[in-house]
Amino acid sequence: MSDTTVTFDDVEVVAASDLAMRVQVQGKVIVVGSTQPLAGTTIRWLGERGSLVLPRWAVRELGLSEPAPRASALMTRHLAPDRSSESLSNTRADRRFVVSCLHCKRIIVVTGRIADAELNQLRAHLLACCPDEVFGASAGIAATLERFRVMPTDSDPPPDAA
């Protein structure tokens, strides 16, 4: 993400015209002019759900808060997307992760892979923990994991000494 842009995931278009679109983001419905979305935006028409990339100045003017980073450096190093299905898997067979809720701080799963079953468990927890938060059942992995802390159960091995 550039220093001058902000990306929101799991944004839904609730109305659209040639001049603007109304979108639901962070539990709010806002109007975004047709010239505001930047490269990387995947939504435009009524009913579409995806990513919205805006200039940082527009985010401030719209009263939105910047979302947490999509994936922490830890997840980027240790989890890689499995392109055959929408899941995340670990890069070492013995690596396991503790996934805890950012809202209530409870540990929800300890797993070596976040696949559909774990993702459904995380979504179900969010419905019970934060029933007032707008969260679609079709939210992707990134939008779901933004609400959780993912930490390895073991520490990284020290770098090889030369």
Q: Going by CATH, does the domain composed of 5-61 fall within 2.40.50? A: yes
Alpha helices in the chain (DSSP H): 56-61, 73-78, 116-129, 141-145
Would you say residue 44 has pLDDT above 80?
A: yes
Q: Mind listing the pLDDT tens digit for each residue in 70-121? A: 544 344 444 444 433 334 443 445 678 888 888 888 888 888 887 778 888 8
Q: How far apart are CA 155 and CA 162, in angstroms?
A: 21
Q: Where are the alpha helices (DSSP H) in 52-103?
A: 56-61, 73-78
